[in-house]
Amino acid sequence: MIARREVAETFRIPDELWERVQLFLPKFPRQKTGRPRLDPRKVVDGIFYILRTGCQWKAVPSEFGSGSTLHDYFQEFVKRGFFRDLWEAGLFEYECFKGIRWDWQSIDGAMTKAPLGGEKDGPQPHGSGEIGHEALPPYGWRRRSPQRRRRWRQHA
């Protein structure tokens, strides 16, 4: 079994890449009160760990910091355009190195029938006219308005 620290080291950004990435990091003003800011290298490593593995924010190894703190940094980076700037710089570098054919673009997609779809002449998807199969409200039981309450009476 691999230790968590080894996993964190496996997903660290290489030093050569970090030198280029840190140029795009947003500048935060110095704080006089509150918690000190995390090491930007750990923050970026943690965010990219989450993006690469697809794990939940709360499941990130503690070497990167808490998941909620990393999510706050991620939201701030998105708002300040960090990822867009990084993406544009990568495109520009690839353009200079290899070349991108901007005149040719491709998009891919697939459309298939739903595997559990109904028969062609089956019930309509909107369910008009159905009685008794309506969805329950979020609280799980049906309320009756005071006017519609039934009063049970004995009949002779």
The rounded distance, in Å, linking the Cα atoms of 7 and 10 is 5
Q: Write the CA distances from 77 to 36, 74, 84, 97, 124, integer angstroms.
A: 18, 5, 9, 27, 46
Enumerate the H helices of 22-136 as residue ranges: 40-53, 67-79, 82-97
Q: Count other Cβ atoms within 10 Å, centred on residue 11.
A: 17
* Strand positions, DSSP E, the chain: none
Q: What is the mean pLDDT of the chain?
A: 78
pLDDT of 81 strictly over 70 = yes
- pTM across the whole model: 0.60
Segment 25-46 shows an average pLDDT of: 86
Domain-embedded: residue 48: yes
Mean pLDDT of 129-134: 58
Residue 130 lies in a domain: no
- Assess if residue 110 is contained within a domain: no
pLDDT band at 111 (very low <50, low <70, confident <90, very high): confident
**pLDDT given for residue 118 in this prediction:** 57
Q: Does residue 126 lie in a domain region? A: no
Residue 60 lies in a domain: yes
Residue 52 lies in a domain: yes
Q: How far lies 51's CA from each of 47, 84, 89, in Å? A: 6, 15, 19
Domain count, the chain: 1
Let me know if residue 137 belongs to a domain: no
CA dist 115 → 3, 120, 122, 142, 148 (Å): 41, 13, 15, 33, 43
> Is the residue at 46 inside a domain?
yes
- Considering only residues 93 and 149, tell me which one the structure prediction assigns the higher pLDDT: 93
Give the model's confidence band at 137: pLDDT under 50 very low, under 70 low, under 90 confident, else very high: low
Identify the pLDDT of residue 131.
Answer: 59
The domain in which residue 51 lies consists of 4-28+36-97
